[in-house]
Structure 1
Amino acid sequence: MSPLQSVKFWLVGHAGLAKDALHVHVGLLLFVGSALIFRWPVRSWKPWAVALAGALAGEMWDLRDSLVYHTRIALWANFHDVWNTILWPSLLVLLARTTALFGKHQRSR
């Protein structure tokens, strides 16, 4: 088992989170964290891209582990994980771009 898989199983076991919930939390952490660190507005595509890149990198690592450790590859499960990771960042960007919920409504650049 790779170090990434070990960390994921440890988090699931010790944080009381389901694997799907872990993906949701990671997506929000990447989205909000990158927006705060780099001072990007929530309506920008940049924090969303960070969350998407994190989701895709994690699933690429999972696919690599499946090849290395000869476990079943389930592409639908990988898609499901990306979906869980990127859903809330996508909705937050959409809300920020179309409503005044996050401040003055402006067109994104």
Structure 2
Amino acid sequence: MYLSKFQEFKIYIVNFTDLARDALHIYAGLLVFFIVAFLHKRQLKSVWALLAVIGVAIGCELLDARDDWINHGYW
């Protein structure tokens, strides 16, 4: 079975933190949100921070879909 570097990184993080994948998705989203809000020096209700989280989530889902397509032949 083919594992991309992205999948290997995700497996490493899950094993290192011993947290569920769903919890890690929440923490990663919060981390991106706070970093963008801090860098732009905006309030926490910033639209840019929300758009960054949505963009990262879509990008990660596309990488997961690509790996599913390679491994299983369908999305």
Alignment of 1:16-95 (within 5 A): 16-70=18-72, 73=75
Q: Which runs of 4+ in 1 moved over 3 A?
A: none
Q: Which runs of 5+ in 2 are unaligned?
A: none
Superposition deviation, residue 72 in structure 1: 6.1
- Matched AA of 1:21: A
Superposition deviation, residue 71 in structure 1: 6.1
Q: Which one has the largest radius of gyration? A: 1
Equivalent in the alignment of 1:6: 8
TM-score normalized with structure 1 length: 0.62
Question: Number of paired residues?
Answer: 73
- Matched AA of 2:41: R
Between the aligned partners of 2:73 and 2:6, the Cα distance in structure 1 is: 15
Between the aligned partners of 1:28 and 1:44, the Cα distance in structure 2 is: 13
Superposition deviation, residue 38 in structure 1: 1.8
Between the aligned partners of 1:18 and 1:12, the Cα distance in structure 2 is: 7
Identical amino acids, percent of aligned pairs: 30
Between the aligned partners of 2:29 and 2:73, the Cα distance in structure 1 is: 25
Between the aligned partners of 2:8 and 2:21, the Cα distance in structure 1 is: 13
CA RMSD of aligned residues (A): 1.3
Q: Which runs of 5+ in 1 are unaligned?
A: 74-109
